[in-house]
Structure 1
Amino acid sequence: MALLSLLSIFNMILLFFLRDPSLGAVLALVNFVLIIFFIADFLARLVKSPSKSEYFLRQYGWADFLSCLPFSQTNVFRLFRLIKVYRLLRDFGIRKIKDAVIKDRADTALFILLFVTILMLEFGSLGMLAIESQSSVSNITTAPDALWYMVVTLSTVGYGDQYPVTTQGRVLGAFVILTGVGIFGTLTGYLANFFLAPQKKKKSGDELSDIRSQLDAIKALSAQQQDAIATLEESLTKRET
């Protein structure tokens, strides 16, 4: 969520400098999507927290809540999410966080995939709208048109109702298509790992159980052999005496 918070703050700066209302509409739509993620993150943290009051008061939960509100005046509270990231880096260290990321590579890949998708939706739409709006025969003329084109193209569906007519727009569209193929290829790998990983763990657990059973059998057999040896020694001792 720290990356999404950074993106949200960056969008605030862009909205301040952009004078084109169409480009501003793209940023407004993307910010609406980010707000949905922030609300989901706030609710998840609130539910998982052992102490709701401690999270809300001492861990800046109130700032998380205010940052979810769809008002420009409350966007500044998203800076508190960056403060949390700084504290996390300070308390745990970069090495431990890096080890955790490497250990949980599948979930890390999913988060990176989500972030790249949002970046492509935002900056791809901004670029496509800025390029295509210069043409008099363009059919991508509004923010919803640009976002719809990006969603359809990234998902590799390609309805064909919106398409670039300029050379620069087609080059950008080709890049978006290739990126969409990579995104869905990575997503397919993640889903395959998600569904197959429990079966692999179960199989590994069964193999470990078999090994433990064999070790127990060996230990039991060794004990019987020791008892037999002890019995033979006693009988030999009695005969000698």
Structure 2
Amino acid sequence: MANTKRWLIQPDTPPTPLQLAMMLLSLLSVILVLVITFGRIEGETRRLLFFIDTCICMVFMSNFFYELFKANKKTEYLKHHWIDFVASVPAIEALRMARLFQILRVVRLIRTTRSLIVPMLKQRRQATVASLLVALVTILTFASVLVLIVESGVEGANIDTAESAIWWALVTISTVGYGDYYPVTTAGHIIGGVVIVCGVSFFGVISGYMASVFVAPDEAEKLDSHAEEIRCELNNSLMRMEANQQKLLAEIDELKQTIEEQLEDKIDDKLERKLENRLKPDK
């Protein structure tokens, strides 16, 4: 229980886009496990859900080792995130339910965080990659499951296995469309149309992201060059200000010395006049 409490401790930093993506995938995976465990579904649909959940487990496992590699204190990371590894083990439904702890932790993180927009804006690239990952897995999951349900058992249908359903969803979202598998029902055509629209939007975002990746270094170089020019201007201005300050201080010292000399001359004149007045004989 103590380890679980320590695992749920509120961190000091707000959640990253990748953490939020893992939370959403955990939620999707828990739904899949619940459907597999308690739902009355046919064999091919069960195989498809099991295959999708196994792929999500691979994503979790990759993210776990990636975060472990990045962690400065790997022992501390293992103490706080060991349950992430346990929940990433495929083919064991009891262990998969451990993802509920990850969902609870991130939900608590969101509730105690004042704003998620600022961290997302500060990490735009990670937010883009995380969004694309969640969108890809979600679209493939729902498209393949729905098309298999509506096409299975229909006369003349060729999408009747888990492999054919996931392959059709993949080639459709990529807008390739080999034509080896295709829906024959009206509901299947509607699902295919929605997947095509999502695929066009999805790869449009990818194209924009890749363009920003290649353009961003040039923009960064321009910003660095502009910043260097600003630094040079500031240094020159500071040097001129320092020179003017030295000149002004020299003039002040010179003026001060002149005033002191004039005061001394006046004082000497007054003393001489007083002395002369005293030395004069009284009439």
TM-score class normalised by the smaller sequence:
0.7 to 0.9
Q: String of CA shifts for 1:201-238, please: whole Å, max 9, x gaps.
A: 22112111101111221222333345556667749x87
Consecutive unaligned residues of structure 1, counting only runs of 5 or more, are none
Question: Which of 191, 197, 204 pairs up with 1:185?
Answer: 204
Instruction: Select which of 44, 48, 63 maps to 1:26.
Output: 48
Tell me how far 1:116 sits from its aligned partner. Answer: 1.6
Distance 2:250 2:141 in 1: 83
- 1:53 corresponds to 2:75: yes
Q: Distance in 1 between matches of 2:133 and 2:159?
A: 25
Paired residues, number: 236
Superposed displacement of residue 199, structure 1 = 2.4
Answer yes or no: is 1:157 the counterpart of 2:176.
yes
Q: Residue 216 and residue 154 in structure 1: after superposition, are their counterparts in 2 closer, same or farther (change >3 A)?
A: same
* Offset of residue 62 of structure 1: 2.3
Report the Cα distance in structure 1 between the residues aligned to 2:247 and 2:187, rounded to whole angstroms. 88
Q: Distance in 1 between matches of 2:216 and 2:167?
A: 35
Matched AA of 2:126: D
Question: Does the CA contact (< 8 Å) of 1:67 and 1:76 recur in 2?
Answer: yes
- Mapped partners of 2:187, 2:27: distance in 1: 29
**Contact between 2:173 and 2:196, CA under 8 Å: does it hold in 1?**
yes
Q: Which amino acid aligns with 1:28?
A: F
Q: Which residue of 2 aligns with 1:118?
A: 137
After TM superposition, the structure 1 = structure 2 runs for residues 1-241 of structure 1, keeping only pairs within 5 Å, are: 1-15=22-36, 16-57=38-79, 59=80, 61-70=81-90, 71-89=92-110, 93-227=112-246, 234=254
CA distance in 2, matches of 1:178, 1:187: 14
Q: Larger C-alpha radius of gyration, 1 or 2?
A: 2
Q: Distance in 1 between matches of 2:181 and 2:232?
A: 64
Tell me what 2:266 maps to: none
SS in 1 for 2:230: helix
Question: What is the CA–CA distance in structure 2 between the aligned matches of 1:208 and 1:94, rounded to whole Å?
Answer: 34
Stretch deviating more after TM superposition (143-152 or 74-83): 74-83
Stretch deviating more after TM superposition (126-135 or 93-102): 93-102
Deviation at 1:171, TM superposition (A): 1.6
Deviation at 1:127, TM superposition (A): 1.0
Deviates more, 1:173-182 or 1:134-143: 134-143
TM-score when scaled to structure 1? 0.88
Distance 1:196 1:150 in 2: 32
Q: Distance in 2 between matches of 1:155 and 1:25?
A: 23
Percent of aligned positions that are identical? 34
Q: What one-letter code is carried by the residue in structure 2 that aligns with 1:63?
A: I
Of Structure 1 and Structure 2, the greater helix share is in 1
- SS of the equivalent of 1:135 reads coil
TM-score by length of 2: 0.76
Question: Aligned letter for 1:84?
Answer: R
Q: What letter is aligned with 1:94?
A: T
Q: Unaligned stretches of 5+ in structure 2? A: 1-21, 263-283
- State the match for 2:10 in structure 1: none
Are 1:156 and 1:181, in contact at CA under 8 Å, matched by a contact in 2? yes
Distance 2:162 2:245 in 1: 84
Provide closer, same or farther for how the CA distance between residues 229 and 63 of structure 1 changes in structure 2, counting only shifts above 3 A: closer
